[in-house]
Chains A and B, each alone.
Chain A
Amino acid sequence: MRKISRLAIKDYLNEWQISSCYILALAAVLGPMMVLFALKFGIVTSMFDQLLDNPVNRELRPIYSGHFDKSWLEQLQKRPDVGFLVPKTRNLAASMLLKSKNAPSIINVELIPTAENDPLLSGIKKYPEGFDSIILSKSAAKKLAVGTGDTIQASVQRHYLGIKEQKQLSLKVLAVANSQAFTREGAFASVKLLEAFESYKDGQAVAELNWTGSQPTNAKKFHPSFRLFSQTINDVEGLQKWLETQGVEVITQVEEIKSVQQMDNTLSTIYWAIAMIGIIGFSTSLGANLWANVERKRKELSIIRVIGFSTFDITIFPIIQSLLTVFFGWLLSVVIYLGISFWINSLMSNQLEAGIQVCVLLPQHYFISLFVAAVLAVLVATVAGVRAAYIDPAEGMREI
């Protein structure tokens, strides 16, 4: 085995020009297949996964305003399929004016209640807790020309006892949300701040902020709506059904999620169909090369047989050479793939968000491709090896 391997390797290296052709022929099939798989993996898995992971797809939005009390919201919060829940205040109360030193204009922003682990604010560690901080939407931050750490002035107005009043508040910008979190001009604030504004607009006093007005009644507090996200994408449907039993109709992305999953399946099927064609092409091309090689080497194979190498040695001669072809062909394919994927990714980088790549392979994909190619090569090379074993050395060695 060791001796025949040495001969096979020496022969392979000596015929480096022909060997290179076989390596190129293999890389011509394997390289594009790797690119294709990387595209499928990059686009289908990575991009669709991202779509699936997009928190908006986990959101359940009540269609109509309701009367949700604290205990009902707590019951909802405790469900294992709920990922995030904050109560909302009335829409009319959920806005304020903002002004910064850096920009001339005063803008009106929508207020969005938030809390820890807001899916829309993933990646942002701090969250507004009291009355002194907010997270700005990207467009709001842009208009105000402010960033993280800046302080801005907020004002909120009301008509109270026939008089137009307004209150000022300094707010620290904890962070700026990414553009997908909220596309309009908005500010994520604590539920407390929103409730304070709601009370103020209702003409009530806000003790924490020393805002005067009528004393709040002890009547039960209701929230008209809430922001709700399920734990995972697969929880949306169940949670929606439960809410319906509670008389709460919600808008969800269930249909979209289903169609995305459907598309994922379809694209996977298409890829595997192409991959099967590729595997057949790869095996045929390698098998044809090896067979031709055995025919070409009839004389030399006969000679080593006459010298006393066994049938087994003759059979594994092409197998060893095929493994060399696979290894170098695979290396070349990896180089081709890396080149093409770099090119595709840089071509697409303008159209995609930073960090997203359409053409991606994981480390294990490289090893799987090498392993699969080696197994296929050994299979087809065995056919060529058996052919080699059947060469009659009496005839082979006398060929010119």
Chain B
Amino acid sequence: MQEFKSQKHNNRLPTSIVYDIRGVQKNREAEGVAFQLTIPTLQISKGEKIALIGQSGCGKSTLLDMLAFISQPTNNNSFFFQQKNIADLWKDRRYSLLSKIRRESIGYVMQTGGLLPYLTVKENINLSRDILDLPEDDTIADLVEKLDLSYHLNKRPTDLSTGERQRVAIARALAHRPDIVIADEPTASLDPYASKTVMAMFINLVEEMGITVIIASHAWNDIKHLGLRRLSHHSLRSPDELKTETIVTG
């Protein structure tokens, strides 16, 4: 664990820190295998672009879900998000407040789009704004143009290619101009060429909009040229393979 400490960032002002997490743990058990994710310390600052690299099953998604307040940590010593004590909100079962923080501050790009089949592309993109009652502005027009979705606005998700769907998912995650956007393997289901294009579009947009981004990916090579800070991540497996522990710091 010692070797990872050097990567800790202490050179930023506290107010610019978005996530400040210490001693958080999540235990899970699936098919007889115990899984533990430990985060001794994690700090993410405003405007940072974070990469979380690792094979599937190592706990990337679990970490992202905790950062999006979808999964409740098992052990919750200190978890601050924009000065809000998330650990206490979980403890006090303030679920609707957590939902509120999520819909206001976080955009989430799911691995397989996560579009609602009964809404058109335009309605899907607008959903994140609609739920906040945001007035119409040119954000959506801008996103649609930059993600090359103009011809698809009135289509249903089923009429789109996988790449187009992921672009719609990105547009929806950004449409309400959240502080943070979390993306779980956003291009994993695309072919290498499309993957590269979509990822570049995505990073350009978050940079332009000044949004902090956290991307999980299994392939560092695909994204290392994009200038992301990689979180250190270390997995241990017990000799009988019945227990896996992953430690993430950064």
Contacts and interface: CB of A to CB of B under 8 A. Distances in A.
Question: Do they bind each other?
Answer: yes
Interface of A: 3, 7, 10-11, 13-15, 299-300, 303-312, 392-394, 397-398, 400
B124 to A, nearest CB: 10
Interface in B82-123: 95-96, 99-100, 102-104, 106, 108, 110-112, 114-119, 123
Interface size class of B (residues with CB under 8 A): 20 to 34
Interface string B53-77: 0000000011001001011000000
Given A394-B65, A398-B61, A307 B108 contact: yes
29 contacts: A3-B131, A7-B116, A10-B119, A10-B123, A13-B118, A14-B117, A14-B118, A15-B118, A300-B117, A306-B68, A306-B70, A306-B102, A306-B108, A307-B103, A308-B102, A308-B103, A308-B106, A308-B128, A308-B132, A309-B103, A309-B131, A310-B95, A311-B95, A311-B96, A312-B96, A394-B71, A398-B61, A398-B110, A398-B112
B142 interface: no
Interface of B: 61-62, 65, 68, 70-71, 95-96, 99-100, 102-104, 106, 108, 110-112, 114-119, 123, 127-128, 130-132, 172
Given A10-B119, A394-B70, A307 B127 contact: yes
Contacts, number: 71
A300 B127 CA distance: 13
B112 A400 contact: yes
A388 to B, nearest CB: 14
A398 B57 CA distance: 13
A300 to B, nearest CB: 6
Contacts of A7: 116, 118-119
B17 to A, nearest CB: 23
Contacts of B103: 307-309
Contacts of B100: 308, 310
A309 B61 CA distance: 20
A312 B98 CA distance: 13
A242 to B, nearest CB: 74
Contacts of A393: 65, 70
B131 A307 contact: yes
Contacts of B70: 305-306, 393-394
